[in-house]
Chains A and B, each alone.
Chain A
């Protein structure tokens, strides 16, 4: 972690004094003798130590790795073992990122392969377009997925997202990428039944999400216990959450998520946020005013969670989480007279944490810092508009979904840039040849 911190700040990833102690030494009341016995090494770090790297500049990309096996299948197996030993990956088998496969994936962009997208923290590794294609190859992705991955990485590293927290925090949070625009259907990104995965019919979300995780692990150094101090991690971290909003299911007058972020209809965009949990909400069928209120009260009850990070740093003005409703629920709510704005207002008002609970939890300081007078219920965010409300999921109305905010980040967004039309159309044709026709909704 210390080495990563140096790397993140642009230093060589070397620490002047790197001492290893049993983790129990950091327990309350522990014996600190091992530390006492090593004080001279701390002095040495301040006085005698010399870094190995003495010049500034960009290192050359690491060399290609040759792996030999009895036959191709064995070589792939050996490569997977080597990657596991080097801690390059997520622990699951990967597709070999060979030159051929990476070159194939690079057809998904017009950008030069050595264009730099940015630095991924905490390690500070340089994310190039080629590097993103390598991770997408490892994740089993295809060329037409690359524009969405590039946009997701671009959105992730916008400073206000604070991705260094996302990829190194003790919190067990994960990225969510919501895609809007025609590209979603073109690349088979799911917005309907099982949109958060898994799906062989719609493989794009898992491939892009897994590639994003591989970027965070390998380029960003978010390796558990080394770069990422997430106490639990989680199953959602393997492929993160990448899906499309159900634009065809938006009721009349209902703005899409990307429109809430200022994009015009038809633009291909990603909205990026990080969440610490994903929860199904059972019982949100809406037929009339009474059932609408019942459904909204139920969603608000799931949102009424004392999430400390909502009040950390400046994120009270950020986004407390994402609510997804199905197209049927959305239609029912609109039919009962509820606009998207009115729904957000109601959810905000009814997800406030009562003062008795604030007191019981010891959240008085958070309430004061958020400008909430003593005795008043504590909203989970400064204003209703901060909540992301989208339409996605299967057709019927029985369930909705809540994803509460993870670490101190703000949602960010980026445009998806496809390659020029002729190439893009070729890629989509190839996808039809390989995977069959694009599924009908």
Chain B
């Protein structure tokens, strides 16, 4: 797969004041990036919505998710929250993205909460 792309002019010049200054031009090593999917549209609100939890069981999710659940239900009592251990389970299932997607669809989730990590 070969694709031609134009480089933008430099925007990250580091300056040192000197009449005899030497300038070197180098590549930014991070490279290009491809967006193949767009983030899903947001919900209007959470009333009556089904929210799924996804966790790999580390980072104290057995304590953080119940707290998030409790607080969301205080604000949206008609919301339905599917706990992470009832939605896809933990490892290894939670690392199989196709399995997760199937489970989320099957349970009729309108949104999911995931990413309890740094």
Contacts and interface: CB of A to CB of B under 8 A. Distances in A.
Contact of B25 (A9, A50, A65, A130): A65
Contacts of B106: none
B24 A75 contact: yes
Contacts of B63: 32
B24 to A, nearest CB: 5
Interface in B21-49: 21-39, 42-46
Contact of B39 (A2, A16, A112, A128): A16
A114 interface: yes
Q: For this complex, into which size category does the number of interface residues on chain A fall?
A: 35 or more
Given A36-B71, A47-B46, A115-B2, A62 B26 contact: no
B71 to A, nearest CB: 4
A20 B72 CA distance: 19
B21 A69 contact: yes
Nearest to A111: B2
Interface in A210-230: 214, 218-219, 225-226, 229
Interface of B is mostly: loop
Given A53-B35, A63-B9, A68-B21, A112 B2 contact: yes
B105 interface: no
Given A11-B39, A70-B16, A75-B23, A58 B32 contact: yes
A209 interface: no
Contact of A56 (B2, B21, B37, B118): B37
B40 to A, nearest CB: 9
Interface in A127-148: 127-128, 130-131, 134-135, 137-138
Nearest to A13: B33
A290 interface: no
A42 B22 contact: no
A439 to B, nearest CB: 31
A61 interface: yes
Contacts of A71: 20, 22
A135 B21 CA distance: 26
Contacts of A69: 16, 21-22, 24
Contacts of A79: 14, 24, 26
B101 to A, nearest CB: 11
Given A26-B60, A51-B39, A79-B24, A62 B31 contact: yes
Contacts of B68: 35, 39, 42
B35 A74 contact: no
B103 interface: no
A43 B111 CA distance: 11
Given A36-B71, A63-B10, A131 B23 contact: no
A54 B39 CA distance: 8
Interface residues of B, number: 59
Contact of A12 (B13, B15, B35, B59): B35
Given A88-B29, A214-B29, A39 B42 contact: no
Which of A46, A60, A70 has the most chain B CB within a 10 Å cutoff? A46
A28 B58 CA distance: 11
A417 B58 CA distance: 42
Contact of B35 (A32, A56, A61, A82): A56
A32 B29 contact: no
B29 to A, nearest CB: 4
B117 A10 contact: no
B104 to A, nearest CB: 14
A343 B24 CA distance: 55
A116 B26 contact: no
A225 B117 CA distance: 11
Contacts of A313: 92
B34 A67 contact: no
A85 to B, nearest CB: 9
A438 B21 CA distance: 40
Contacts of B32: 58-62, 125-126, 128
B5 to A, nearest CB: 5
Contacts of B67: 32, 35-36
B42 A11 contact: no
Contacts of B10: 63-66
Contacts of A225: 118
29 contacts: A1-B118, A5-B115, A9-B37, A10-B34, A16-B42, A46-B42, A54-B38, A56-B35, A58-B3, A59-B35, A60-B7, A61-B28, A62-B30, A62-B32, A63-B7, A63-B8, A63-B28, A64-B28, A66-B23, A70-B18, A72-B22, A75-B22, A82-B14, A88-B29, A125-B32, A138-B29, A218-B31, A312-B92, A313-B92
Given A42-B113, A59-B34, 10 more contacts: A11-B39, A12-B39, A32-B63, A43-B72, A66-B10, A67-B24, A69-B24, A75-B24, A78-B14, A82-B14
